[in-house]
Each structure stands twice: as structure tokens, then as C-alpha cells.
Structure 1
Amino acid sequence: MSNVEAHPAEVLCRSEGLPGPDSACADGVPVELITSREVPLGGPRAMLVRRTLPQRQRSLIGAWCFVDHFGPSDVRDTGGMDVAPHPHTGLQTVSWLFEGAVAHIDSGGGVGTVLPGEINLMTAGTGICHSETSTDGTTTLHGVQLWLALPDAVRNSLGRAFEHFEPQPVALDGGTALVFIGSLLGEDSPVSVYSPLVGAELRLEAGAVLDLPVDAAFEHGLLVDSGDVALEGVALTPGTLGYTGIGSERLRIANTGTGPARLILIGGEPFEEEIVMWWNFIGRDSDEIAQYRAQWQEEDDRFGRVEGYVGHGGPGRDPDGRSRLPAPTLPNVRMRARKNPPPHVQDSSTNSDTRSGS
């Protein structure tokens, strides 16, 4: 997945920063609402994605540092997904679809088709590049694309890797779960991650109420794809991410509507390292980011090459006629720190979208 913004903001994330209250309260777990912003995903008829992370309000949930939610989109109107070869450093990408199919090719030799209900995880390590295009048979595209920040201990030693896993449904009271990263409900995903994490799709039938056991050492985010959902009594609209801090052993999730609901749960132990995010790179300071950009522009071997990309604009082309995405211009100033709040829900004095449920 690429961040194709022409003027991407720089982000330096920290685990400490703004003051916040304890996560426990008498009438339920507090919930912080993180709303999305729309971002075009390349091309003259760009498909819009709804981005909830990173935000000024909060940049990370565990090591989850990037959350894009898209569709359902008719590819006849949007042109579908066509992202020419682009680079990544210091992260893992997670592709998870609800509808449609996306062809993936990367410079580590990974070639595959992303299908609904199957996780495709790409590890960038020191550097990788890849392309993503919706397949010719796709009429509707719908899903999420996520990033995981790699810890400093491994980011410069990991090579390029591509993993695939199809989780089996886990029965819930009034629904099912698909656990694609980490452990939840007695299910374990075998894909390789490098900090304690969880990721799952939850489906709830109309009227179902789920008391979900979770790791109290994790902070969590619940993204609503569809349906009328309440987290700890707080209503979440589709495209909104409900955040809960550490200290909770269960989360109450209710489908308050008359139809089915689908959600994405992410979580992990607070990521305590400072990271700089800019465009498709994660580093530790401005100098690293500038080095990565220069190496990508110079077609350095750090990133390798994608062989076989065929975009919707013609062989080896994206809709704008490029065979690889050029990096945007760097800011004219050194990238400055953006503080991530501690792993607790912010109170109303720091965030007007904080609520306590019942």
C-alpha cells in the first residue's frame, strides 16, 4: 500500500506526551473517537480512501501506524486500485479485503493475489518496493490496508518477505471472528510480527452483544466497516475508529442495528520508540528519511525492482503514465516531533470526541 499524497506530512511518534486520565471508570471503558479523512489513491479518477491513522490526535495503536479503509467502490467509477511500484522502509504492510481482488508484486520475489478473508503481509525491513492493481475481474473493491512499524532492534536486519494466511472462522455468540494477526479467542495467526499485536475481523449479527476478552497490556482500536455498532455504549459510525487504552480485560461490542455489522479490531502493546513517518518511509530521524528518498530517486539497490507490473493505463504504466512512483519533495525544514498521547483515552479537555459508555 502506498501513501500517494503529493504533500505528505511528516510524523514523529512518541509513546509519551500529552496528559491523560486512567483508562478505567465506574460505568465502563472510556472510548476515544478517531474520525477519518478522505485521501485520493492516485490517478485522475482516484479511488478515495478513509484514513484514520496517523492523525494529530493519535499516531499509533501499538505498532499499528497507518489505517486506510476503502469502498465498497465500483471500479467502473473509480478506476479501481492502480499503484505503480513504490518503496517502503522500516515497516510491514497488511492487506485485508472484504470484496474484490488485488494483484501484488514486490522486489523480494513475492507475487500473489489478495483475496477476501486472507491476509497478505509484506515485510520491508531495510527496503522493498511493490505494486498493487485491482484485477480485471474485480467490479467492487472494499477492504483495509494497514502498516506496522518495525522495532529498531530488527528493522535494519530483516530482509524482504511476503506471507499469506487464511484464518478459519471462530464462532462467537451472535457472530464470527477471523484472527489474522496475533492471538485472540484461542486462535493464533502464524504470520511474522515483531512486537505484541492483534488484528481480527469481527462479524456480528443484528442485536448481538459481545463481551470480548482482550489482553489488558494492549491498547485497542475498533474500526467499523458497516452496521450500527456501539463500543462500551458509545456509538461508532462506519469509518470511525474507537480507541481504548491499556488496562481493559474485556471490550463490550454491540450491534444495535437490524442488519449485520462488520468490524476490524487492531491492538498491541504501546510502541515506545520514536519513529518518523513520511510518505512511504519509516525512519528514526529526518536524515534517514532524506537518505531513503534520495536512494529511491536514484533507483538504488536498497529497494530492488518490481518485474511484471502492468497498470490499468497500459503495460508497465499507471493511469498517469508512470512505471514507478516518484517521491514527493521533502519539506524545507527538518521534520519536527509529533507527540503521541500515552496509552489512555484522552479526557474532554484534550479531545472533544471522548465518551464514556454505560
Structure 2
Amino acid sequence: MSDLEQNPTERECGDDPARAATTLIPPREVPLGGPRAMTVRRTLPARGRTMIGAWCFLDHYGPDEIAETGGMVVPPHPHTSLQTVSWLFSGLIEHRDSTGVKALVRPGELNLMTAGHGVCHSEVSVREEGAPAVLHGVQLWTCLPLEHADTAARFDHFAPEPVEVDGARVSVFLGDLGLPDGSRPASPVETFSPLLGAEIVLAAGARLSLEVDPTHEHGVLLDDGAVAVDGEAVERGHLLHVPPGREGLTLEAGQDGARLMLIGGPPFGEQIVMWWNFIGRSHDDIVRAREQWQAELGHDADGRFGAFDYPGGESLPAPALPHVTLRPRG
């Protein structure tokens, strides 16, 4: 997914791990594309909380009737020094990228694209005959540590087997998670820093105790229903940040059950600049990436970002840079 804001701000990335209190982060609405396009609800980055571990971007969208809104139509756009994580609750998205991949993003299956030195891709919602025309899911980014920032681009797919326990269905798509039955479902997908990513669906009134890494900070995004995390209620569409130090999290669903996303990782601890779809370590990194994208616009197979066949038209040009120096934060 692209950050389609026309005047993207500099992101202050790298928060203080010493903050002990939880924080409930409200979403802000961002239109994804033109006047008929769907609206996403963005909780990362946010004022005062720009990262959770290496997770640096979280868009939550739907349920969206694509026949009414046009759905998701994001033309070719670039990324650097990050991984995109796509996870759907319903609907289908066609993903194309300059590594040569053409794949469908399906509910309950992880599609992870590593940008590294540079990649471009597109995302367009589609409908299979007999499939629901409702798009609903999340898109996240994780920042690559400096030593892996220029790694080669690639694409990974993984369909986790859901685990049923204590009135919950748990699908771990990144990292691993301790469950009350003693099992520890884990993902084989490689990441470049420790990460946790899981979808958890709770039945009405279910109570689920999870074992988590106390060196990690965590985020709980409530998609639907009602849930309390260690007794603290999370509002629908909001993201609860839980600082490091807890060895467990207890989730309690309301009378209608709940569906949520659980993310986590150790505090990132590096200074970065995040602007538009680029992550760098300096203002010059961002300027260089923008200039290269503008020169290529997804039409140079041998360029930094590569090229692929996109039937829907032209690539997204980069917005103008602000008239200030982008500063590393952290």
C-alpha cells in the first residue's frame, strides 16, 4: 500500500522505551486515492507513538463495498528499506511487483514484500465469481534495520494454520506466540528484526491468556466487537500500545466477541527518516530515492525500483518534498 497523502509529513520514528503506561491511539481517516476511493483508518504513525518495535505503519480498512467505492486501486509506487505486510479479513487484492510476482492477497494468508534497496508494486481489489465484494483488512509496514536496509527485494507468502484454544482462534503469521494449552504456533517467514504478528478471533465472553516476550512492546488493534487487554478496554478501530515488561497479556471479549490484530517487537532503537513511501537514515537518502523514482516511474526494468506490467495506467509520482531538512529521529 502507498501513503497517498499529497503533503506527507516527516515521521518522528523511534520512541522512548522507558514509557511505562499504555496508550490508546485513535485512528485518523485518510482517503486512499480519488474521490470515489475507499477510506483507511491510520493508527501508525501517530502523534507521540510512531513505532511499535519495527512496525512503523498501520492502515485498517473496511468493510468496504467495492461496487460503491471502487475499492482499492493503488497504481505502481515505490518503497525502500521496509517490508509491507498485507492481511485480509475478506475480499481479494491483486498484488504485482517488480520482482516478477503476481499474486492474490486472500483472507487469512500473509503476503509480505521486502523492499530493501528498492521495489515498486501495485494493489488493486478484485472479485472472483461467487466471492464477496467486500474488502476488509489491514496493511502494515515494518522498518528494516540499517544492516539490512539495502537487502534485495523479494516476496513471501504464508498461510498459517489457525489454532483453536479457550474460545479463540489464533493465526500467527509472523514470529511466535505462547498459548494457554502449552503450544507455541510460529511462522517460518524471515524477518530482519524480531516481530510478532497475529490475528485473534474471540468468541462471546472468551478469556485468553497469552505468553509474550517481556522485551517486546505490543500493539492491539480492535477490528470488531469489544475487548479488554489486562482489564483495559480498547475502542473499536483504536490501537492500544503496551510497553515492554509484561510476560503475558490477557484478552477478554465482550458479549459479541471480538476480532483483533496483535503486533509486537523490541523497541527499534535506531534513528530513521520516514517520508512518503521511503525510509532512509538521512535527508539525502530520501532526496535520492525520490529523484530516482521520478526518473524511473516504474518504467526502467534495470533501475533501482524495477518495472512490471500494470494494465491500469501510469505510476504514482512522488509528492513534492517539504522546504525543510528531514531529520533522523529516534
Q: 1:193 aligns with which of 191, 194, 204?
A: 191
Q: Distance in 1 between matches of 2:323 and 2:308?
A: 31
Using the TM superposition, name which of 125-134 and 36-45 deviates more: 36-45
Contact map agreement 1:35 1:241 (CA 8 A) in 2: yes
Q: How does 1:315-354 map to 2 (within 5 A)?
A: 316-317=312-313, 323-336=314-327
Q: How does 1:246-285 map to 2 (within 5 A)?
A: 246-256=244-254, 258-285=255-282
Relative contact order higher in (CA < 8 Å, ≥ 6 apart):
1
Cα distance, 1:231 vs structure 2: 1.2
Match in the other structure for 1:155:
149
2:201 pairs with 200, 203, 219, which one? 203
Alpha carbons 1:131, 1:306 under 8 Å: kept: no
* Correspondence 1:43-62 to 2 at 5 A: 43-62=34-53
Question: Residue in 1 aligned with 2:234?
Answer: 236
Work out the percentage of aligned pairs sharing the same amino acid.
54
CA distances 1:240-292 after superposition (whole Å, capped 9, x unpaired): 00111101000111102x22310000000110111111000000111110110
- Which residue matches 1:6? 6
Letter paired with 2:55: W
Distance 2:142 2:204 in 1: 32
Partner of 1:178 in structure 2?
171
2:66 matched residue in structure 1:
75
Kindly provide the CA deviation profile for residues 28-60 of structure 1, in whole angstroms up to 9, marking residues without a partner as x: xx5310111000111221210000000122010
Give distance in 2, aligned partners of 1:227 and 1:16.
31
Letter in 1 for 2:85: V
Which whole-Å deviations, capped at 9, do the CAs of 1:94-135 have from their partners, x for residues lacking one?
Answer: 000000000000001111000000000000010000000001
How many residue pairs get aligned? The number is 317
SS of the aligned residue for 1:298 comes to helix
Structure 2: distance between partners of 1:97 and 1:12: 28
- Rounded Cα–Cα distance in structure 2 between residues aligned with 1:162 and 1:110: 7
| Alpha-carbon separation, structure 1, partners of 2:11 and 2:273 | 5
The answer to whether the 8 Å contact 2:2/2:77 transfers is: yes
Q: Does residue 304 of structure 1 match 2:301?
A: no
CA distance in 2, matches of 1:44, 1:65: 27
1:26 corresponds in structure 2 to none
Question: Equivalent residue of 1:227, what SS?
Answer: strand
Say whether residues 1:143 and 2:137 are aligned partners. Answer: yes
Partner of 1:87: 78
> Which runs of no fewer than 5 residues in structure 1 stay unpaired?
24-29, 311-315, 318-322, 340-358
Q: Which stretch shifts more, 209-218 or 141-150?
A: 209-218
Give TM-score, length-normalised by structure 1. 0.86
**TM-score, normalised to structure 2's length?**
0.93
What SS does the aligned partner of 2:286 have? helix
Q: Return structure 1 stretches of 4+ with deviation > 6 angstroms.
A: none
Q: Which amino acid aligns with 1:53?
A: L
- Find the residue that maps to 1:304 and give its secondary structure: coil
Contact conserved, 1:31 with 1:231, CA < 8 A, in 2? no
Distance 1:120 1:44 in 2: 28
- Maintained 8 Å contact 1:226/1:263: yes
Q: 1:121 aligns with which of 112, 118, 128?
A: 112
AA in 2 matched with 1:203? V
1:245 to 243, 246, 251: 243
1:10-21 maps to which residues of 2 (within 5 A)?
A: 10-16=10-16, 20=19
Q: Report how far residue 338 of structure 1 moved.
A: 5.1
Which residue number in structure 1 is paired with residue 181 of structure 2?
A: none
Task: Compute the displacement of 1:16 (Å).
Answer: 4.0
Partners of 2:308 and 2:231 lie apart in 1 by: 47
